[in-house]
């Protein structure tokens, strides 16, 4: 009787512990300095704030990292919010993921005498040197996803607006696991650079995959140049022919992974990535290798960045770390999620491909 009672007590304790774990809130993403996140929906301006900004002739510039569907949506959102505040956008630059070019872009932009610069910094170390004269000149700064090394929020910049990287990582791992029914060999390609948001997202994916007992992570490969996605994926498929799925850190790299899968004759290989892109969306609706995409909200991110800048120009305190939501995207919800994330309709080629598939 005593043994049976002890077993029932142990079972009850384990059940209670599992229930408590399941009901516990997921850990929150933290900023580069451990900051607590502020939801993007809390960054607002009152009509009186907007009236105060209008007519002042403020000028803003967007110093970006590369061209992509993400960047285009971010710029569109920022332009809309800046226009509402009467702030003129004097420049939008594309560094093509080259820190040296971004520094040159920044010098060119500073000649236009902006009052505010929003930027996605490619390299925190060289960026710290490049952006220090901007701070010294009194130009307001808002960063996207990455910050220069040694910069302090509230002193050197207004704040950072970025992904909920833990939510994105957990969701990507779940999508990948579901695509292979929770078992098999998988590979992870991670961003091999000092880049806050991608480093955090990639690590969150890796940690979440470890919770699936049927999944074996057989390869992790770093990538510095986004053009190397196909070569790295090809090497993985050659070395580990039983790999069932590959995670890629963002959309252009995933394009290379799907190309490698096609070249290797692996139509069953599943690919999961972050950020929406037309090529990967097209592959997904055609029933290709793209199993699922996790996206943030770049259009809303752009609007939030602009509003943070507007508040900074008014001399208001702004949250140091602001996050936008994560979206799970698959072939069934692609149309609505694309519109929500990027603020524009799905490309016609993708719509047509989906329609053709539905008619089969």
Per-residue model confidence as pLDDT tens digits over 207-259: 999 999 999 999 999 999 999 999 999 999 999 999 999 999 999 999 999 99
Looking only at Cα atoms, what is the longest distance across the chain? 85
| Structure tokens belonging to residue 173 | 């791992």
Q: Residue 39 forms beta bridges with which residues?
A: 323
Q: Which CATH architecture has domain 38-163+298-324?
A: 3-Layer(aba) Sandwich (3.40)
What per-residue confidence (pLDDT) applies to 25? 53
pLDDT tens profile 9-65: 444 443 443 343 334 456 789 999 899 999 999 999 999 999 999 989 999 999 999
Q: Whose CA is closest to 322, among 69, 195, 144?
A: 144
What per-residue confidence (pLDDT) applies to 26? 61
Residue 355 banded pLDDT, cuts 50, 70, 90: confident
Look over the chain and give the mean of its residue pLDDT values, rounded to a whole number: 92
With a pLDDT cut of 90, the percent of the chain lying above it is: 89
Give CA angle at 236 (234, 237), nearest 5°. Answer: 65
Give the pTM.
0.89
| Structure tokens belonging to residue 74 | 């971010």
Task: State how far the Cα of 290 lies from the Cα of 255, in Å rounded to an integer.
Answer: 9
Q: Report whether 52 contacts 314 (CB < 8 A).
A: yes
What per-residue confidence (pLDDT) applies to 312? 98
Burial environment of residue 233 by CB neighbours within 10 A (0 to 12, 13 to 18, 19 or more): buried
What per-residue confidence (pLDDT) applies to 1? 45
CATH 3.40.50.2300 in the chain, residue ranges: 38-163+298-324, 165-295+330-359
Q: Which CATH architecture has domain 165-295+330-359?
A: 3-Layer(aba) Sandwich (3.40)
Q: Whose CA is closest to 121, among 69, 164, 64?
A: 64
């Amino acid at each position: 009787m005593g043994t049976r009672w002890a077993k029932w007590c142990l079972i009850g304790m384990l059940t209670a512990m599992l229930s408590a774990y399941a009901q516990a809130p997921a850990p929150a993403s933290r900023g580069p300095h451990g900051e607590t996140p502020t939801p993007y929906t809390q960054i607002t301006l009152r009509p009186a704030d907007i009236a105060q900004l209008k007519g002042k002739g403020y000028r803003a510039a967007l110093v970006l990292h590369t061209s992509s569907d993400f960047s285009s949506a971010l710029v569109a959102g920022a332009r809309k919010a800046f226009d509402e505040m009467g702030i003129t956008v004097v420049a939008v630059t594309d560094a093509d993921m080259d820190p040296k070019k971004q520094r040159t872009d920044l010098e060119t932009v500073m000649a236009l005498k902006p009052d505010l610069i929003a930027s996605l910094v490619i390299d925190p170390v060289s960026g710290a040197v490049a952006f220090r004269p901007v701070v010294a000149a009194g130009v307001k700064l808002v960063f996207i996803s990455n910050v220069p090394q040694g910069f302090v929020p509230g002193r050197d910049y207004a704040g950072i607006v970025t992904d909920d990287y833990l939510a994105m990582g957990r969701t990507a791992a779940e999508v990948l696991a579901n695509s292979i029914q929770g078992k098999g060999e998988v590979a992870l390609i991670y961003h091999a650079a000092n880049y806050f948001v991608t480093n955090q997202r990639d690590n969150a994916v890796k940690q979440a995959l470890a919770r699936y007992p049927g999944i074996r992570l057989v390869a992790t490969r770093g990538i510095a140049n986004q053009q190397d996605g196909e070569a790295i994926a090809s090497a993985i498929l050659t070395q580990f022919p039983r790999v069932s799925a590959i995670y890629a850190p963002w959309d252009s790299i995933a394009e290379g992974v799907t190309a490698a899968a096609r070249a290797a004759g692996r139509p069953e290989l599943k690919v999961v990535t972050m950020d929406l892109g037309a090529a990967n969306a097209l592959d997904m609706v055609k029933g290709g290798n793209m199993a699922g995409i996790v996206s943030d909200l770049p259009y809303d991110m752009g609007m939030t960045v602009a509003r943070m800048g507007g508040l900074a120009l008014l001399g208001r305190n702004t949250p140091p770390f602001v996050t936008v939501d994560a979206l799970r995207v698959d072939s069934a919800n692609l149309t609505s999620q694309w519109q929500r994330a990027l603020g524009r309709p799905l490309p016609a080629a993708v719509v047509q491909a989906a329609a053709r598939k539905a008619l089969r």
